[in-house]
């Protein structure tokens, strides 16, 4: 029995070394994963499809860029029935409970831009955008890749803001802000 266990452990250790070497060769050793999960903060005084919804955001960062995966559950299913789509973006500020309008959610600041040069055109390559389309179960999932990592800033806080309309590709606008997911980098340390 001991020989089988040692052989099995040796095989597992060998596989782990091969896997680790493969990941290192592919640059995966530079991978950092950040996770945020909580109930969304409502930033409108009137009711909306994201009232009471919960969100999970995972950010996988490497030296060459970041993959953002967001999942929101508990969305009012009538939004799916209406075929509604919502734009969401990483913003520079934080979410403030009861940051009601008009317009609400302004504490979250403007869109986060990797290159803040005002002459640089608005684009998916310089900002983090999500396209949320709820299904009949009230869940929306989206993933986006950007060729940069988000700087948490001096306050170590950012936010994902969900808007009432889809994102306009030419302006980056998506209408009023309706819900917000805090990204508190301090909590991750």
pLDDT single digits (tens) 53-92: 999 999 999 999 999 999 999 999 888 788 899 999 999 9
pLDDT tens by residue, 13-43? 443 333 344 444 455 558 999 999 999 998 8
85 near 132, Cβ under 8 Å?
yes
| Residue 4: pLDDT over 70 | no
Q: What does pTM read for this prediction?
A: 0.81
Q: What angle do CA 187, 174, 149 make, to 5 degrees?
A: 40
Q: Which of 73, 42, 71, 69 lies closest to 58 in space, CA to CA? A: 69
pLDDT tens by residue, 91-145? 999 888 766 666 778 889 999 999 999 899 899 999 999 999 999 999 999 999 9
Domain residue limits, the chain: 1-29, 31-188
| CATH class for the region spanning 31-188 | mainly beta
Distance between CA atoms of residues 55 and 39, nearest Å: 6
Per the document, the length of the chain is 189
- Could you tell me how far CA 173 lies from the centroid of its own chain? 18
Phi, psi at residue 88, to the nearest 5°? Answer: -145, 150
Q: Where are the strands (E) in 2-85, listed by range?
A: 32-39, 41-42, 54-61, 66-73
Lookup result for tokens 């403007």: 110
């Amino acid at each position: 029995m001991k020989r089988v266990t040692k052989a099995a452990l040796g095989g597992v250790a060998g596989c782990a070394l091969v896997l680790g070497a493969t990941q290192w060769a592919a640059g995966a050793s530079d991978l950092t994963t950040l996770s945020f999960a909580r109930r969304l903060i409502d930033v409108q005084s009137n009711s909306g499809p994201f009232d009471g919804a919960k969100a999970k955001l995972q950010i996988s960062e490497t030296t060459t860029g970041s993959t953002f995966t967001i999942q929101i559950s508990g969305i009012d299913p009538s939004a799916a029935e209406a075929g509604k789509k919502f734009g969401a973006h990483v913003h520079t500020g934080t979410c403030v409970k009861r940051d009601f309008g008009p317009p609400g959610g302004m504490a979250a600041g403007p869109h986060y831009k990797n290159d803040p040069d005002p002459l640089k055109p608005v684009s998916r390559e310089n900002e983090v955008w999500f396209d949320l389309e709820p299904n009949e179960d009230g869940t929306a999932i989206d993933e986006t890749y950007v060729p940069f990592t988000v700087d948490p800033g001096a306050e170590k806080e950012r936010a994902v803001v969900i808007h009432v309309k889809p994102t306009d590709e030419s302006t980056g606008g998506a209408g009023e802000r309706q819900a917000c997911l805090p990204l508190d980098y301090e909590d991750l340390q």
